[in-house]
Amino acid sequence: MYKEMKIHAISGYSEVGKNMTALDLNDDVVLFDSGLFLPSIVGVAEREKIPTEKGMRELGALPDDLYLEKKRLREKVRAILVSHAHLDHLGALPFNAYRYNADIVSTPFSIEVLKLLLEDSNQRLKNRLIPINPNSSFIIKGKRNAYKAEFINITHSTLQTALIAVHTPNGIIMYANDFKLDNTPLLGDKPNFKRIKELAKEGVKALIFDSLYASDDRKTPSEKIAKGLLEDVFFTTENRNSAMIITTFSSHISRLKTIAELGEKLNREVYFIGRSLNKYLTAARNIHQAKFAPPHKIISFKKQIEKFISKVNKNKNHYLLVCTGHQGEPGSILDRIARHELPLHLSKDDQIIFSSKTIPTPINETNRKILEKHLRKYNVRIFDNVHVSGHGGREDLRDFIKMINPEHLIPAHGDLKKLNAGIELAEEIGYKLNKNAHLMQNGKSITLK
């Protein structure tokens, strides 16, 4: 029996992004996630350059995992457990996974996305990539011990998101980064409350949880509500003679499926245009979750895009175009349409639908303003925020924490302000700061006795 274990906040505790947490079991270390800090690389992917580890570290895009070298923990890392396919959770692996003699374990969709990211950047990893179905487990072999890691199904804004529970000799550590509690998801199953409650009964030592919206007094609506919002725009506005262009998060497969289904109901041909849409839809197709997007409906090569767009231009109301560019990213398809760099002539009453929310960073807000300025020149109709979030709000978190009733609470996924909101919530529930609720920052650790 160990005397103690430690949790190290590597990154994602002083900013939103580059998530990485280390569970230190003395002889063995388990990593949760290895993500990118996306604001520092906006536009890099679209410029078609292949970035290097050094370049990415200089940009501040990678987790501060050199910490593990300094603490002599690097060689003890036995597994990297990945919660889901978002780039702020797995996007750093092509650059830093080689440092660890460890398997990369995640659900099949996330593993497919990682494979495509590696392919994209022409990289290979010596780490084994191990797909684990939602609601099943993997045994991590340590120096003297073995640890069961469970990937419990939970809902979020991408496919096959997992709540990870690692069984250690000193209790269960739960990593819940990111999630919402959606009882009516439109693709995939609802959260596995049965298993979560069973583990709660066994006793959970510590819960690391997504505090991004811990200060928002809300219950995040289900994905079925997003469908309702889209139906309203699609079927109750005048669009018979208009172009319809919609943009959303490329990894949001469930939303893309809804858009495809509703587009067909409108008798429009639905096409997906852009590189990142191609990547995530291909990953989803590889695990048989994207029948709605057959390969010929996905258009991602430069020449092919130009040819296709000029065909659309002759018959605009015949199509529903799903494009990249919801954050106004320079070089995205929507940005290029707005700048008239693609042969589509927008005109009065054409519809531009953002099934997304602008992520509130200065660079995104600036890019979105520029995009809208270009779009408004054509007098198009803009429908913003036809969207529901993939992150639970304060009242979801309250129910979740109470359901699990862990000994220790560790807010994650945010800067000091956001984590503080997680701590305030913990205190409302009855936890005490520095006793069993821990305000972490990058580079800090706590010891659980």
Distance in Å, CB of 111 to Zn ion, minimum: 16
The overall longest dimension of the chain from CA atoms, in Å, is 72
Of 8 and 86, which has the nearer Cβ to Zn ion? 86
Name the E strands within 90-202. Answer: 103-106, 129-131, 136-141, 146-154, 161-168, 171-176
- Which tokens go with 178? 């990111």
167 vs 252, which CB is nearer to Zn ion? Answer: 252
Residue with Cβ nearer Zn ion (159 or 309): 159
In the bound state with Zn ion, the residue whose beta carbon lies nearer, of 38 and 410, is: 38
What strands, in cross-sheet order, belong to the sheet with 77-81?
A: 129-131, 103-106, 77-81, 29-32, 20-24, 5-11, 444-448
Q: Tell me how far, at minimum, the Cβ of 339 lies from Zn ion, in Å.
A: 30
- Write down the least CB distance from residue 38 to Zn ion, Å: 11
| Distances 165 to 133, 135, 147, 416 between C-alpha atoms, Å | 14, 11, 10, 25
Structure-token pair, residue 342: 């693609």
CB of 434 to Zn ion, least distance (A): 29
How do 171-176 and 161-168 pair as beta strands? antiparallel
Between CA 45 and CA 38 the distance in angstroms is 11
* Shorter beta-carbon distance to Zn ion: residue 178 or 329: 178
Residues in contact with 414: Cβ distance below 8 Å, sequence separation at least 6, in sequence order: 12, 13, 15, 16, 211, 212, 214, 421, 422
Q: Which is nearer to Zn ion, 28 or 178 (CB)?
A: 178
Separation CA 384–CA 431 (nearest Å): 39
Residues in touch with Zn ion (CB under 5 A): 86, 178
Minimum CB distance to Zn ion, residue 84 (Å): 6
Q: How far is the CB of 152 from Zn ion (least distance, A)?
A: 16
Q: Least Å distance between CB 327 and Zn ion?
A: 15
The residues facing 383 across adjacent strands are: 353
- Provide, rounded to whole angstroms, the least separation between the CB of residue 389 and Zn ion: 10
Task: Give whichever of 178 and 223 is closer to Zn ion, judged by the CB atom.
Answer: 178
CB of 86 or CB of 285, closer to Zn ion = 86
Which DSSP letter does residue 47 get? G
Helix, strand, coil % over all residues of the chain, rounded to 5:
35, 25, 40
What's the CA gap between 227 and 388, in Å, rounded?
Answer: 9
